[in-house]
Amino acid sequence: MKLLLIRFSAIGDVILTTPAIRMLADRFPRAQIDIVTKPELKALLEPDLRLNRIYTLPHPFSWKKLFRLGKELRKNHYNWVIDWQKHTKSYVLSRLAGGKIKRYPKFSVQRFFLVYFKKSYYRKIVPVPLRYLQAVRHLNVRDDGRGLELSVPETVEKTALLKLRFKPGTYWVLAPGGGRATKRWPAPYFKKLASLIQTKLGLNLVLVGGKNDFAFCKAAQNGNAAAVQNLCGETSLPETVAILKNASGLVTNDTGVMHAAAAFQKPVVAIFGPTVKEFGFFPFRTPNIVLEKQLPCRPCSFHGTEKCPLDHFQCMVNISPEEVFKAVAQFRTSNQTDR
């Protein structure tokens, strides 16, 4: 059996494929399983020994290069191509690669009516990892009931821990960033939250994010530098994953970092604004508390926007730092009780 999986982006979406990859490998232990993703996400998947080869989408992109990649893939004579991207590029590449093609249900029509007409035609809410699984159900692959998973090379983990001021298990992670402005809880709220966590729970905090998130992390850290370490833009993606692996929990917006923490079954406090559970991206099979406000304008977009369409941003500003703190405290109390 030879299988080609296609999922170009983004961080969270790629992490959400890991249960299906595991189940495919368990179902076909001798199969050749290859995947195509973006170059910057290759390091995220490289530690997974179940993957035979990781191909990368051409960068900078050109259709000529994509056709060249498709020609290379066709030489492998795949039995099945599983398209988990469902994008023009993945449609073309899956055809070029050869083999029979299966794709997963995006529920695009239901999502369209929910966003633009606030009418829900979802029969049930199916998390994205289980939607991916539906694309391989014809191969008799079934849900094993387990969650997401990631591996971190020992060398990467050691490097990441050297950058930390705090010992493993003694800190929570804050992720103030996000792909779109409306998916970011206000930075001053994160600052207030950090202060509450330190003064009332005595916890150390670590800020993570990409270079584009630096301003938000800096604003969240401001005035709390002693017990809030800002590693935003200072760690590679695998190093950020290692920091989450060694954390006690995470407070995050709707981002890929949330799914990385879930891969280690860490407690997650997630703040959702313009997006909703029906889209399938709530924390998957990890202890979690999702904070959101039920408003008639939600959801206002598929992936968030750069500005609130109604100029009030109530979906985020109405979630107070005190509410988020209570969620963190709830996990903290539970952990102490468990001990």
Residue 197: closest CA among 206, 208, 209, 187? 206
Asked if residues 257 and 14 have their Cβ atoms less than 8 Å apart, the reply is no
Specify whether 124 is located in the same domain as 187. no
111 shares its domain with 163: no
How far is Cα 49 from Cα 53, in angstroms, rounded to an integer? 9
In a 3-state reduction of DSSP, which class is residue 4? strand
Query: Which of 337, 147, 335, 158 lies closest to 246, judged by CA?
Result: 158
Among residues 177, 164, 147, the alpha carbon closest in space to that of 256 is found at 177
**Same domain? 62 vs 123:** yes
Q: Which tens digits make up the pLDDT trace of 297-317?
A: 999 999 999 999 999 999 999
**Tell me, what's the pLDDT at 338?**
43
Shared domain for 171 and 97, answered yes or no, is no
Residue 149 belongs to some domain of the structure = no
What is the C-alpha to C-alpha distance for residues 81 and 145, in angstroms, rounded to an integer?
24
Q: Are residues 174 and 129 in the same domain?
A: no
Looking at the structure, do residues 103 and 164 belong to the same domain, yes or no?
Answer: no
- Whole-structure pTM value: 0.95
What are φ and ψ of residue 16, in 5° steps? -70, -10
Same domain, 232 and 274: yes
Which pLDDT tens digit goes with each residue over 103-162? 999 999 999 999 999 999 999 999 999 999 999 999 999 999 999 999 999 999 999 999
Residue 148 lies in a domain: no
Number of folded domains in the chain? Answer: 2
| Residues 237 and 167 reside in one and the same domain | yes
Closest CA to 139 of 76, 49, 62, 79: 79
pLDDT of residue 222: 73
Which among 133, 125, 6 has a CA at the least distance from the CA of 57? 6
The stretches in the chain having pLDDT less than 50 are 337-339
What H or E segment, with its residue span, contains residue 13? Answer: helix 11-15
Q: Do 204 and 291 lie in a common domain?
A: yes
Separation in Å, CA 96 to CA 7, 80, 81, 90, 279: 16, 12, 10, 10, 30
What is the extent of the structural domain holding 14? 2-139
Domain assignment present for residue 32? The answer is: yes
Question: In this structure, is residue 218 part of a structural domain?
Answer: yes
CA separation for the pair 124, 330 (Å, rounded): 29
CATH code, 17? 3.40.50.2000
pLDDT at position 336 is 52
Q: Tell which of 139, 166, 181 closes a domain.
A: 139
Question: Cα(260)–Cα(242) distance, rounded to whole angstroms?
Answer: 9
Q: Is 81 helix (H, G, I), strand (E, B) or coil?
A: strand
Residue 324, both tokens? 């988020």
* Shared-domain flag, residues 109 and 256: no
Looking at residue 292, its pLDDT comes to 98
In a domain, 226, yes or no: yes
Q: What is the pLDDT of residue 339?
A: 40
Which among 61, 66, 41 is positioned nearest to 51, based on CA atoms? 41
Domain boundary residue, one of 84, 116, 139: 139
- What backbone torsions phi and psi does residue 161 show, to the nearest 5 degrees? -65, -30
* Domain boundary, last residue among 92, 109, 139: 139
